[in-house]
Structure formats: C-alpha cells, structure tokens
Amino acid sequence: MEDFDLVIIGAGVVGLSITYFLSSLSKNILVIEKNSSFGMETSSRNSEGIHSGIYYPENSYKAKLCVRGRKLLYEFVIGMTLGILKLVNLLWQQMKRRKKLIKELFNRGIINEVEGLELLDKNEILSIVPNVRAIYAIHSKETGVFDSHSFMKRLYIA
C-alpha cells in the first residue's frame, strides 16, 4: 500500500480544481472517483453558468467566494485558452410596483462587490433586447458560460 500526501474524493469540477492547484505543493496526490471517468455527477448536470454573485446575502461568505471564484475562473480559463462566453444577462421586472425588488437586488450586488452591474430603464433595455416588455432591469456584464467539460479535461490531463 502506498502513502499519499493528499487524497481528494471526487473528480468533478471542485475535486479536479483542488487537485490541480495543490499539485504545485505535492505530486503525491490520489484522486478517488466512483465513476468510470471524471465529471460524471453534478459537474456534468449544470447550466455551465458563471454567476456574478448578485443573489447571495450581503457580505456572506458565499457571495465573497462567488465573486472571487468568478474572477479566478475567468483568468484561468482565458490562460488555458478554453472558450468562455460573456452573455447579455438582464434581470428584469415587468410591473412598476416591483422596481423596489430590482433596486434591492442591484444594491445587494454592489455591496457584494459584483462588478459590471448597471441599472437600466425601459428604453435602455429595448436598446439591448428589442421585444422585451420590461420596465426595469439589472444588466450583469460579468455573467457568462463556459465549457465545463473542456475545463475538467484540461485539469485532468494537467
């Protein structure tokens, strides 16, 4: 039986990312995966969305990790020449009485240090997405999607 410095359980996005970054400290790492290949559980059953961090409670650990993780993910994916697509992401309300909800969400994003947020009125929304019947919106410029399978494969072979 061989001894290992580190044992990582699960070869999804999180397990492979941890292994990749800790491999600079040790080459004696064991990754245990119950499936026949990497990324066959939750990591292959998601929207592949890169979230801005706007939805989490103000100053929460989850919000801070989301904002920092998004920045690191963009840097890593661009550095590894993997595809990433930033989307026009609008969160909107169609009723005037709901403007307060949009403003609260926007303010939460600002408090959580989410970059690239912009509060839009009806005309600004129509200039971006014509045919949307919205009165207020938040434009989140840092929201995106990426190919998580290529990302995991790159981590796996590294």
- Based on the structure, what is the number of domains in the chain? 2
Residues 90 and 117 in one domain: yes
In the three-class reduction of DSSP (H, G, I as helix; E, B as strand; rest coil), residue 114 is classed as: coil
Residues 63 and 28 in one domain: no
| H-run or E-run covering 89 | strand 89-93
Q: Residue 155 falls within a domain, yes or no?
A: no
Catalytic residue chosen out of the listed positions 19, 38, 39, 51: 51
Residues 60 and 102 in one domain: yes
Identify the pLDDT of residue 117. 93
Domain that holds residue 32: 1-46
How far, in Å, are 22, 33, 40, 72, 153 from residue 89 at the CA level? 34, 35, 28, 20, 27
Identify the pLDDT of residue 102. 87
Residues 21 and 68 in one domain: no
Identify the pLDDT of residue 65. 93
Q: What is the DSSP letter of 61?
A: H
Q: Residue 2 falls within a domain, yes or no?
A: yes
- Sign, CA dihedral 130-131-136-141, equals negative
Q: Residue 158 falls within a domain, yes or no?
A: no
Residues 122 and 74 in one domain: yes
Identify the pLDDT of residue 2. 82
The structure's pTM equals 0.76
Write out the two tokens for 33. 């995966």
Sorted by sequence, the CB contacts under 8 Å of residue 24 that are 6+ apart come out as none
Residues 71 and 29 in one domain: no
Q: Residue 157 falls within a domain, yes or no?
A: no
Residues 24 and 72 in one domain: no
Residues 61 and 125 in one domain: yes
Residues 61 and 21 in one domain: no
Residues 26 and 56 in one domain: no
Could you confirm whether 139 is annotated as catalytic? no
Residues 109 and 63 in one domain: yes
Residue 50: phi, psi to the nearest 5?
-105, 110
Identify the pLDDT of residue 79. 75
Residues 87 and 25 in one domain: no
Sorted by sequence, the CB contacts under 8 Å of residue 155 that are 6+ apart come out as 16, 17, 19, 20
**pLDDT tens for the chain, residues 1 to 158:** 689 999 999 999 999 999 999 999 988 999 999 999 999 999 888 888 888 888 899 999 999 999 999 898 888 887 777 766 666 677 766 666 677 888 899 999 999 999 999 999 889 988 988 888 888 889 888 888 888 888 899 898 87
